[in-house]
Structure formats: C-alpha cells, structure tokens
Structure 1
C-alpha cells in the first residue's frame, strides 16, 4: 500500500523498559565520583568544607541504592513515573551537594545537565520539560543561595559575578539545547525503528503470499497431467457408453468436474508464480503483476514499455523478488489514489540500466515536502483533506516502505512533480501529478541468462 490507511504504529511508551538496576549502577558511579571529589578537595586542596553534611548527602544516595538493591527484584523495570522520581531525586541530591560546596562557583555545577539528558533519552517530552525546568530553578537558586568555599586560611573562593552569571547562562543553554537535541535524536531513532519494523512486516507478508502462490502454482503444475488423463479417459468412456444414458451422464459429469478443477487451479495460481521456472519474469510481466490489484479501481493505467532510444536490446528477464513487487505496487497504488483519471507506468532499458517511471495526473507533491519524500510518519502528501479521500490519514509510511524495499534491491529512487519535469514536453503535458523514477543497474535485478544458468531440477517443498 502506498500510504497506510490503518492506524499507524503507536509511539512506544517510555515507561516499562528501563531497568532499576541500570539507574542504580549509574548512581553508584556518581557516588564514587562525588566522594572522590570531596576527599580530594578536603585532603589535597585543603578546602574548609562542611564535610559532614556533604557526606550525609552522599550517604542518602548510598542508602537509596541499598534499598533499591535489596528490596526490589534485580530485573524490575520502572514505569514512567518511577523513572521520573528516581531522576528527580538524583537532581535534587546533586543540587543540595552544590549548595554545600559553593553553588555556581563550583565547576562541577555543569553536572546538573546530566539528569536532563537522561530524561530526554528515556522519558516522555512532558517529563523532560518538567526536569529541565527543575534544573533551571535549581541553578537559579544556587546563584543566590550557597555556602561559600573557604580555604584552610579562611579565604573565600569565588569567581567574579560576571563569570558566575555566564556560568548560569551556559548551564541554562546546555539544559535546553541538550534536552531538545537528545529528545529529537531519540524520537528519530524510535520513528525509524517503527518504520523499519513495518517494512519487515510488509516484506514478510509479501513473501508469505508469494510462497502461497508458489504452492498453488506447483499444485497446478503437478496436477495438470493426472487431470488431463482423467478427462481423456472419461471422455472416451462416455463415447463407449452411448447405449447407457445414465452411465454416460456420469462419465460426462467427470469430464465437467475435471474442467472445473483445472479452472479453479488456474484461477488460484494467477498471482502464484514462485514456481522454480517462474522465479524470473519479463520486465513487463513483473510491472503488470505489481499493478494488477489496482487496474480495476476506477483509474486508467497506461503501460508503455520500450528499449532506450537507439537500443535494439530485447526485453530483459528480471528476478521476481517480493520486495520489488511490493515496492512497485506501493508506488502504483499511491499514483492511483491521487490521480484524477490516468496513471502512466513506463519502463525502458539499455545495456547498463533498467528504468521504471510512475506518473499520474493529480496535484502532485507539495513542493515543501519534496525533499522529505520517503521519510516515515511525515504528513500526508496533499495539504489539508483530499476531497477524493476524505477519510485518508496517511503518514508517509507506505512510501517509506516502498523506498526501503526498492533500495534494498539495488534501486535508486527520485521523486518530482510532473508539472515541473514535463512542462516543456507537449506529449507529457497531462502528467501533472507525482513523478517517481526507479532505476536499477541491470546487474542488480536482471536474471542470469540461460547460457549462464544451471538446470533448475525438481520443485522442492517449502520448509516447515
């Protein structure tokens, strides 16, 4: 399907997939770092700190880690709210420790950005925004309220106010920028993951349909000879029973039912061409097979197949790959969905490349989206509701699937509007809608020639 009309993948929930053990291990690393920094400041640099209160704050983190390790199961996964509370606790603990060690005069104040980055990677946008505001509130309070850093001789260590203000501005910018940056990256990864999952599902479905068609085609091939024998024998029997009307009628009934079996197998096997002898097909047959489900949907599909200009090459035989059929079918459906009356499917080839072009007479792609065609979960092709498809809620997933599958087969795709591409060609003036060009190197899709191929052998059963 060129655009998925079904409900798109729901965004994955942030909660329920973060292990408590992961956050506990990260907190142990933070505890080691905090304790080491306090010991070095007190013993090496002889700073006069409220060392008791500082280690009390660190001890709270130690106790919380021990409780988490011994009370909860090792494989416990946190919900959205649980993860938010854990990250908020770490942020408040760090803020209190900074209050006891000089506020924004402490160079470690930049670490307040860490919990926000973790939140952007693991929690929802609402939780990330809340933690970002909390981080900005904490550093703003640390601008005004803190215990000064004192040396052993009683001197107060502080940076000039302009630098302290600059430190505040830098932290606020880091909170906003890293939070938004991390959130966008994670959302892009999740979107791409969901889209690739949809692509794999579409390919698996196409493969199953192809395999099922292969079973039907193989059955028709294998049953053809015995059915022909039954028909011949029953027809001869009917001639010999001319003097027995009842028996002759039964023999003719066998002939009729044999013909019926033949027709049923032929009908069922129309789309099933994965027989060993039909794993390849002429290029035109492949294109028409991909377009077949959309031929009778009220739009005229025009096929134009020809070798490239100046070439006398015969039509190439290509591999019947499920991803190629499904990808082309998606593109053709997209053209049929948005066309007014006509869709054109052209193919051409030369000694180096095979090209397929799909065009329609619709309104085409919005110009501002041309550069994003093929991205998953983008907005619909036409701005606003399409009167021809009032209930349409496509998000670009179908085009992404088609693009991904065809590129996997070695194709290069380009998207444009016919009104721009053919405005100087009078013969193509009606092709004002979307224009998709798919190009393969012949070596990527062409089937081996009969001179290079080995005997196929007997049909093999599908693995179970």
Structure 2
C-alpha cells in the first residue's frame, strides 16, 4: 500500500512568502516613521507641510499592506512579479511624498537607495533594473515643479545646516534598516538554498530506490525458477526410500525446504513491493498481528529465544499489511540479530496516533560517523561493498508513509533504532477488519 507523503511548500514559494512578509513589516515601519516625522516637523520644528498629499500617500501604503496580507492569506506562492509590483508602489509613494515636501532638497530623497538594495536582493536581475529605472524616474520627476518647504525664521537663514541634520538622520535610518532587513532576507535565501539542496538529495535518493527496485524485481524474477526447481527436488528426495529411512537426512531436508520456502516468500514480497503480482487483494490484519508475524519470521532463522518482544501497544487496530514495511523492519531485526546474536529487544508502544517500534541490541553500537550519516546509502559498519542499504530503505519507506526513524546508542551498551509510524498510513478501509 502506497500512501502519499504530506505536501510541503516548495522552497521558492516559502522564500517568496517570507520576503513579502518582510516588505509588509518594512512598510509598516515606513508608515509609522512618516507619521512621526510629520508630527515632529509640524509640532516641534514649526515646518508647514501639506498634509493632504502626504497623508494620502500613507493611506496608499496602508492599503498596499492590506492587499499584500490578502495575497499571503491565499496560501499560494508569491511570484517575482508580485514582489516587483509591491516595490514599485513603494517607489511611487516615496516620490509623491518627496515631490510635496521639497523635492531633491529633501534629505530623505536618499531613501530611494533602500528600495534599490532590497530590489537587488529579492528580485531577478531584470526586475532589479526595473526598480533602478523607477527610482531614477522618481528622482527626475522631483526636479519638475516640486512643492518647496516653507522654513521658519530660525532655519531659513541657514537651510544647509538643516539639510545636513536631515541627511544624518536619513543615513542612520537607512543603515539600521539595511542591517536589520537585509540580514533577515539573506537568512531566508539561505534557508531556501538549504531546502533546495535537501529536495535534490531526496530526489537523488528516490531515483536510487527506483533503480534498486528495478534490479530487485529483475533478480526476483530470475530467482523464481531455480527456487521452484529446488523445492521440487527436495520433495523428490524426501520420497526416496533410502533417504526416508535416515531421520537426520529427513531433518536436514526439512530445514532446506523451510529455507527455500522462506526465499520464495521473500521473492514474492519483493515483487509485490515493486508493484507486481497484484492479483491478490491486500491482506487485512491488525498492528499486533503484523508485528508478531514480522518478529516470528526473524525468529525462525535465529537462535530460539534470542528476540525478546515487549508488547506495550495497548488496544489493537486493524491495518492493511504493507510488504515493503514488513521487509525493512525485518532487515533491521536481521541486522540487530547479526551483531547481537544472543539478544535483540523489540518494544512496540503507542504515542497518540503514532505507532512506536524500538529495536535494541547488545552490540558495539553506532559510531559517530554512522550517527551523522544515518539514512544515507552505503553507510555501514560492516565494511561490505553495497552495505548500509537496510537503514537507507527503512528511512525512505517510512518517509513515504509519513513516519520517520532515528538511531542512538543505549546507555547500557548497544544500538537502538526507533521507528515512528502514523497509524492512519496503514489504516484498514472503513467497514473492513
């Protein structure tokens, strides 16, 4: 049974939404700063400002913010065109305000530089140059009949000193905003790059699994005929009169027949997991029966009593048996029994809607390199070519089912593999049990 993994936002979409959120926050700061500047200029400095056009621009910025919030509420990706449009509105609003407050003589004209830097970081090269062109056009329009500022007498005799003070305030404002917001934007971009790298790694792993599945399916087909031949030959030998009289030979033949039947079961499981041999309906069972059968299969080829099963699962639940899941859990059990032949502990419990399976052994445990590279293909402590695929397959099968796996070293010695699996991933259809 294949269960699609939960959908997650693409890295580009997530970065675009976070960058739009930053623009909204920057715009709220601009609205607050502009209202504070107007209040200081009129109340403390007695500078007459045209309130109507300035407040109209602030109203437009507030409206853009609400429109941007509505855009984010839709839950889809924020495109480069939408980010560009938002920045162009900011440039136009700043140009409008400067035009009605002195034009190029207003020291806050340097705020255009902030728009250019943000555009260069957030947008594609073509869109970034569009922001540059918009700011240059804005500066050019400020030379066309701007509304001059009427300064009170204490500033009128030396307007350049007031300009220098305003320039200093503007420099500090730009520096603080650039450090605060560009740092956050770069962090968003690094998170996006990390998410893209993880997605590429996951795609490579899934491609590796597909190729392994094709090889396993081909090998299973090739093994079917010789296994059937061996089964027929063993049956014929059992019927031979000379062999029938030897109890030890009969016992050996029975062991050989059991081993061949186990191999045939494994081959059938590989074909079923690969999407073949689907003539039979999926087998309905329960979680406890599924775990018990998996453990019994491993016990059949190990020392009697070497696997200890602690059932703390609680109330049983109906599920559809997943051959791939059974196979990867069996691989972990085989690995644990191989490294710790005298004892392997299996504990099944439940954490809310999650099934938790812990497999422990008394071996040497995992090395630091193994703990860091857990789940990667060909990462193994056995030193065999092609080793390390058991845990790799476990991680990827669980990921497809919405679960996960982790490894650790036990305080008492040995290794511990912890499997978590949502019960909904294996839930039996309603009305069936």
TM-score using structure 1 length: 0.41
TM-score normalised per structure 2: 0.43
- Indicate the structure with greater helix content: 2
